Structure 1
Amino acid sequence: MSMDDIQMLIKFLGGLGIFLYGIDRMGDGLQKTAGHKMQQLLGALTDNPVMGILLGTGITAIILSSNATTIMVVGFVNAGILNLSQAVGIIMGANVGTTVTSWIVSMNEWGELLKPELFSPILIVSGAMIRYLSRNGKAKQAGEILVGFGLLFIGLGFMSEAASAYRTNKELLELFTNLGRHPFLGIVAGLFVTVLLQSSTVSVGVLQVLALNGMISWQTAVFINLGQNIGSCAAALRSSIGANSTAKRAAVIHLLFNTIGAVIFGTAMVLIFRLNTQLADSPVTSVGISIFHTVFNVSNTILLFPFAGFLVKASGILIREGTSASGCSLDSKDEMKRHLDNRILDTPSFAIESVTHEVVNMGYAALENFDMAARVLLTDDGSHAYQVKKMEQKIDDYEKIITDYLIKISNQSLNEEQHLIVKNLFYTVSDFERISDHCENLSELALEKNKRNIVFSKEGDKELKEMFQSVRSSLEHAIKARASSDMSEVRAVVRSEELVDNLEEEFRERHILRLASKACKPENGVIYLDALNNLERISDHAHNIAGFVRDEM
């Protein structure tokens, strides 16, 4: 290999790196811009495959990566958020959505004004100035998209310039010709390159660079592109390692979908090229690849959509059902870990939605603990005291698992709104844990009350019941506020908190009067006042949680 060859290879690889980084920056910027709307997409998930296709198309068009979408689907299935019927539609849609990038790459064939060397520097300079000079979060994200867009085409320019040096290389042209004349070899080549680059978006981009330099024919491009579509399944298959059997089936469905489509279209294109040898041997353009890539993925989706149920059944034959990745049943702690799947982290909007759901579950666990503590204290039934302690340990586990996941999310690329939500979720988890601590305190006060044969006066007992009821209302509304981001729930917490504060002050004064009149013994009063204090603190934590929700709106 000559020095010139080495220089061209370095230039091509450098351009490939810039191209990949540009796509990543664009996708990251688009995802940040979509922000809360991406989270709302999760709520659109239904068993309707058509909705799934539209959802998969939209998500992939935003993040510019079908690999990321299918990996996310595997994560959602593994977490139990998606079932296989929903996954099928999203996987089909992801294949359609990935064609967006190929059209972006082919833009420089649309006209002279869209030549990379003309507008890429303008995009990069404009985006960089907006990114670093603007204080507005949305503007910064727009700048990030522009920089990514410009880098994408700079990378394409580098690759194209390096490839142009070999547009007359006989050995290379003969290789591409043979790949076109032997469909199986072309498909294998496309599959291998895609697996090697770990991205069908990048491998299709490389193919389009070769087309820009007139180095490949239609038949070569078609069979390589079919192989690229099969190769795009490698990321999901690799991601499913260690997941449960249902998640593995989702990855297999992706493979079956693309492979069946490649076989059908490959057979049809062999017949077409034999009937029209002029088309087969004519040079393909970058736009031509975009057209075929789109036609294949859209047609394949339309063709196999009625057989979505068959794909699910076929995946069940290839991957046998199991209860979990290890073949054993899951307890609640392991189930939470499964729900907070690391595969979802690459799409922070969905990761935030998923972890919020688990924070709400933690809140309901704290509410359950509150009810048990109330039963122990108000009914003198000590049998539930152990259950309160056990639930407190469970909530401590929840706190650690969720906090670890929130740390992972915070290390992702987030917009300002997402940073605020993650920060507030950190605080919310801590508040729920402290609420459970106070529940344990109440349970211990009840055990002490029973041990010392303490009996509250009728007035004291009635006051505690009223206090428990008001605090429970505050806590329940706070959990609902966190779950739904509903301002009416936030306002309900504020009203309950004000009521609790007033009741705490009023009941404390009444108790002092009872002590003064000797209607209550001092030793009774210590437990009563401690109970009031713990209940008031629980309401304070509920108010904190509602306040975090209010700050996000």
Structure 2
Amino acid sequence: MTVAAFMLGDEILFVLGGLALFIFGINLMSDSLKAAAGNKLKMIIEKSTNTPLKGIFVGIALTVLMQTSSGTTALMIGLLRAGLLTLPQSVGIIMGANIGTTVTAFIIGLPVADYGLAMLFVGVIMTFIKQRKVHHIGGILAGLGMIFVGLNTMSMGLKPIASTQAAESMFLAFSNNWLLGTVFGTLFTTLVQSSSASIGILQRLYALNAEGIDSIALTGVVPILLGANIGTTITAFLASLGGNTESKRAAFVHILFNVVSAVIFLIFLLPYEALVLWFETRYLQPYSMLTIAFAHAFQNIVMTFILFFFIKQMIFLAKFFVKDKFEKQIPEEMFDEKLIHESPVLALEFVKKAILYMGSIVKDYFEIAREYSFKENSKLVQEAYTHEMMIDTYDQKLHDYLIKISQTGLDPKDSLKLSRDLDTIRDFERIGDHLTNIVEFFVERYQESQLLSEEGGRDLAELYQVLEDMLNHTLNCFETNSVEVAQHVVELEDVVDDMEEKFRYRYIERLKNGDVTFVIAANFADILANLERIGDHLLNIASSVIEPMYIPQSIAVPKPHEVDKDI
């Protein structure tokens, strides 16, 4: 066995390298599609999912557009965590995403793989063009080309491997044992976190039979296919960790849907296999890759149709297993446009509650950034980007909602309150941007193994503590309209300014004395500047409580180091 593995070393590398190209191509195409669509993806989800049926179509469209059900469910989980999507709405998206992801298998099965290198070449050339649309289209083409090149590379390695006695024994075991195939499909897809990759390999293996190589039979393919559908739920599960109750329930529904689908089709495994074989014999060539695509699509479409009538029961089970916890929640009436026409003043009150909820997300993000500043943890980086998306979404939603309220004709007092609210959400959004900058600065530092010096760590911890007090008092004064608490925020902002200046001077002295090494990631001064700017935005919020007509000092007379670089 060891000798065989050694002799097939190059072939194994072809398979692993091809798989890496395939997964990278999927991610590149997905990222380019999302970048081309911009924030429209989130808006589509929010505005078009008021019923589960609409959610299904949105889930299909988004997954076809993004070429990844994992990306759709992760985006959906983010909106659930922000409280901008309900559990019933998300169930439809989950079902639609399962149908949409089958399109990738059909693309793989099309006879265009020979053009993969041409697509890759043209796509890469286009990515050098700075024009945004052309650049993103280039990324899409390059990703698609990489998928086909990866598949062809895998095929070069799979042919000799599939011809070995060990492979034939394994294929025979899968064909004779549905449980083994299902478990393997689940574990492999969980490992690579891409059902498209699992199914792509299956399609190539199955197609080898047409070349005279006794590869895996249809009876072995179908259970692995069902297992792959279970394994793909890992992304939604991971995205829900650390989230609110609703996001965890959505992940539960996603797992439940795919597990129930697999179980039902395993019960009717023989008729299912017979149907797939009939379809291949009637409409396709023997051992066509499109056979696997059809089997995948048939399962997801049929189960979506069946389980659509059991959405309430799935939600009931999700609520039974994932219990309610006391959590911050936005008011249910938030963003209800009917309320604007019925009572714009009441709508304005709900806006205040939503802004406080946005502030609580900012506070959570602040804690994530602080923790990451002192200890590297890749999970915290993902949490950071999720919180940034949540804050940006709230900024846009609240801004649009407030503009609609302003058009109803408020009295001067309420109009003043609305203007203050617009400034407040902008300040919270800016704080989120600065926290993202800080996280990215520390990503650079960790990549360069540029750890904080002992003195630098103490300075940073001290500054974070003062800013935490500022943030807590800012949220307090905004909620209670307490001028006294707001005055305390103003006092603390002076402390932050003094600390930033003092700590920056200390850092320069450490550089001069050689106590710290200057490298690319020597960005301690930039980190201090971003923290100081957070203090400025907190000052703006508190000052508007003291004086509603307050003009932010950074706008009236900006200091040189206070100019907002992220505008």
Q: TM-score range by the shorter chain?
A: 0.5 to 0.7
Counterpart amino acid of residue 138 in structure 1: K
CA distance in 2, matches of 1:259, 1:350: 30
Could you state the TM-score of these two structures normalised by the residue count of structure 2?
A: 0.61
Q: Is the 8 A contact 2:189 2:228 kept in 1?
A: yes
Counterpart amino acid of residue 123 in structure 1: M
Shift of 1:353: 3.6
Alignment-derived partner of residue 270 in structure 2 = 270
Map 1:208-357 to 2 at 5 A.
208-214=203-209, 215-271=215-271, 284-324=287-327, 332=357, 333-336=359-362, 345=385, 352-357=392-397
Q: Is residue 2:155 matched to residue 1:160? A: yes
Distance change in 2, residues 1:532/1:294 (3 Å): closer
Give the secondary structure class of the aligned counterpart of 2:237. Answer: helix
Q: Is the 8 A contact 1:218 1:280 kept in 2?
A: no
CA distance in 2, matches of 1:373, 1:68: 40
Alignment-derived partner of residue 192 in structure 2 = 197
CA distance in 2, matches of 1:255, 1:316: 14
Alignment-derived partner of residue 12 in structure 2 = 9
Higher mean C-alpha deviation, range 47-56 or range 172-181: 172-181
Structure 2: segments with no counterpart, 5+ residues: 210-214, 330-353, 367-380, 405-409, 444-473, 488-546, 558-566
Q: Is the 8 A contact 2:18 2:149 kept in 1?
A: yes
Distance change in 2, residues 1:43/1:211 (3 Å): same
Query: Pick from 130, 153, 167: which aligns with 1:172?
Result: 167
CA distance in 2, matches of 1:104, 1:301: 22
Counterpart amino acid of residue 10 in structure 2: Q
Alignment-derived partner of residue 491 in structure 1 = none
Deviations 1:138-157, CA, capped at 9 Å, x for gaps: 11221221111111111111
Q: Is the 8 A contact 2:416 2:548 kept in 1?
A: no
Q: 4+ runs of 1 displaced by more than 4 Å? A: 271-284, 335-352, 358-364, 370-375, 391-399, 405-412, 531-541
Give the secondary structure class of the aligned counterpart of 2:162. Answer: coil
Alignment-derived partner of residue 53 in structure 1 = 56
Query: Pick from 80, 93, 112: which aligns with 2:96?
Result: 93
Deviations 1:478-501, CA, capped at 9 Å, x for gaps: xxxxxxxxxxxxxxxxxxxxxxxx
Map 1:465-544 to 2 at 5 A.
none
Alignment-derived partner of residue 480 in structure 1 = none
Q: Is the 8 A contact 1:15 1:158 kept in 2?
A: yes
Give the secondary structure class of the aligned counterpart of 1:213. Answer: helix
Shift of 1:225: 0.5
Aligned length: 403
Distance change in 2, residues 1:347/1:393 (3 Å): closer
Shift of 1:121: 2.0
CA distance in 1, matches of 2:275, 2:102: 28
Give the secondary structure class of the aligned counterpart of 1:165. Answer: helix
Which entry has the higher C-alpha Rg, 1 or 2? Answer: 1
Distance change in 2, residues 1:262/1:168 (3 Å): same
Query: Pick from 99, 103, 119: which aligns with 2:115?
Result: 119
Deviations 1:232-267, CA, capped at 9 Å, x for gaps: 112212222222222111100001111111111111
Shift of 1:14: 0.7
Counterpart amino acid of residue 260 in structure 2: I
Query: Pick from 400, 403, 408: which aligns with 2:431?
Result: 400
Alignment-derived partner of residue 29 in structure 1 = 32
Give the secondary structure class of the aligned counterpart of 1:171. Answer: helix
Q: Is the 8 A contact 1:79 1:338 kept in 2?
A: no
Alignment-derived partner of residue 426 in structure 1 = none
Give the secondary structure class of the aligned counterpart of 1:166. Answer: helix
Report sequence identity in percent: 26
Distance change in 2, residues 1:245/1:537 (3 Å): closer
Q: Is the 8 A contact 2:16 2:154 kept in 1?
A: yes
Higher relative contact order (CA 8 A, sep 6+): 1
CA distance in 1, matches of 2:401, 2:442: 24
CA distance in 2, matches of 1:189, 1:104: 24
Q: Is the 8 A contact 2:78 2:389 kept in 1?
A: no
Query: Pick from 126, 129, 134: which aligns with 2:125?
Result: 129
Distance change in 2, residues 1:410/1:87 (3 Å): farther
Deviations 1:449-487, CA, capped at 9 Å, x for gaps: xxxxxxxxxxxxxxxxxxxxxxxxxxxxxxxxxxxxxxx
CA distance in 2, matches of 1:6, 1:347: 44
CA distance in 2, matches of 1:89, 1:260: 16
Deviations 1:328-382, CA, capped at 9 Å, x for gaps: xx97432455799956958998885444336779999xxx9x969989xxxxxxx
Alignment-derived partner of residue 512 in structure 1 = none
Shift of 1:283: 7.3
Higher mean C-alpha deviation, range 73-82 or range 285-294: 73-82
Q: Is the 8 A contact 2:395 2:429 kept in 1?
A: no
Alignment-derived partner of residue 510 in structure 2 = none
Alignment-derived partner of residue 22 in structure 2 = 19
The two structures, once aligned, show a CA RMSD in angstroms of 4.6
Q: Is the 8 A contact 2:226 2:262 kept in 1?
A: yes
Counterpart amino acid of residue 60 in structure 2: T
Counterpart amino acid of residue 10 in structure 1: L
Alignment-derived partner of residue 498 in structure 2 = none
CA distance in 2, matches of 1:393, 1:349: 18
Q: Is the 8 A contact 2:46 2:85 kept in 1?
A: no
Alignment-derived partner of residue 521 in structure 1 = none
Alignment-derived partner of residue 523 in structure 1 = none
